[in-house]
């Protein structure tokens, strides 16, 4: 084992990689030496990120994939293996939050979509990752949220899925540990992404969140990427079943 944070020689899949946190994790993984497979629903956005990585001297393959569809996830892993060989690391970043409002006001379609992408997606991807089979030193990083470890007013179902993702992380760490597969999560606070635009672009909502952080600001996507690279690397060889909170020191109670 090593204390060096390096992904040299590894193939890493990052879902939700067309922008925001996923894009920055993919770019950081490439800088650390990984060959990166980018996944998201829209090919155009992925192609832009793949070009960014290539221009910096990295290797990337862009594959359009809806993580809630098992057949598309299987095709994603097949494309990754064809391009770069066995997949050493999986970052489950793809997520959705189609409803913003009181928990009991959500419609069934929005509820089902949130569950499909935020829970079924990571589960399906992890199953495919394990079945390939996963090579020695394999690691999964689930991108959760502080909404999964505290009350999430106006984002109730999203928070529920992130709490379940943290639970999934802990359970799979125990079940997959004997096979040498590590499973961890990252729980970001408010990050300036298109995904969080409803909060970031509202002075009232943003200021409420920021006022409760020790650092007095919200995060940028690249501030989440370093923790993901660490968890994917051999430097984290004895870290599993953990959730790293990156929230600027948010007061939660």
Active site residues: 158
Whether the CB-CB separation of 157 and 106 falls below 8 Å is answered with yes
Closest-CA residue to 20 (of 209, 214, 188)? 188
Whether residue 152 contacts residue 219, with contact meaning beta carbons closer than 8 Å, is answered with no
Instruction: Supply the Cα-derived Rg of the chain in whole angstroms.
Output: 17
**Cβ-based neighbours of 9, under 8 Å, separated by 6 or more:** 33
Q: How wide is the angle at C-alpha 164 spanned by C-alphas 234 and 153, nearest 5°?
A: 120
Two structure tokens written together for 157: 């179902």
Supply 191's token pair: 């990050």
Cis previous bond, 130, omega within 30 = no
CA distance 190 to 192: 7
**Is there a contact between 59 and 85 (Cβ–Cβ < 8 Å)?**
no
Classify 237 as helix, strand or coil: coil
């Amino acid at each position: 084992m090593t204390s060096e944070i390096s992904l040299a020689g590894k193939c890493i899949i990052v879902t939700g990689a067309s922008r925001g946190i996923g894009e920055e994790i993919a770019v950081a993984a490439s800088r650390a030496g990984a060959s990166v497979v980018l996944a998201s629903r829209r090919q155009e956005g992925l192609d832009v990120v793949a070009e960014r990585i290539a221009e910096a001297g990295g290797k990337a393959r862009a594959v359009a994939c809806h993580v809630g569809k098992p057949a598309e996830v299987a095709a994603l892993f097949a494309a990754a293996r064809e391009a770069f060989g066995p997949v050493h690391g999986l970052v489950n970043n793809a997520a959705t939050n189609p409803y913003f409002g009181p928990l009991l006001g959500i419609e069934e379609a929005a509820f089902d979509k949130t569950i499909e992408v935020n829970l079924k997606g990571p589960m399906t991807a992890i199953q495919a990752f394990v079945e390939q089979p996963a090579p020695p030193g394999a690691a999964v990083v689930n991108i959760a949220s502080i909404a999964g470890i505290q009350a999430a007013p106006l984002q109730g179902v999203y928070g529920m899925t992130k709490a379940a993702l943290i639970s999934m992380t802990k359970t799979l760490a125990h079940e997959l540990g004997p096979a040498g597969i590590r499973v961890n999560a990252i729980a970001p606070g408010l990050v300036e992404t298109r995904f969080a635009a409803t909060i970031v672009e509202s002075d009232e909502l943003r200021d409420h969140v920021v006022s409760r952080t020790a650092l007095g600001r919200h995060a940028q996507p690249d501030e989440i990427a370093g923790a993901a690279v660490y968890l994917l690397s051999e430097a984290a060889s004895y870290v599993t079943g953990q959730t790293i909170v990156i929230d600027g020191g948010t007061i939660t109670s």
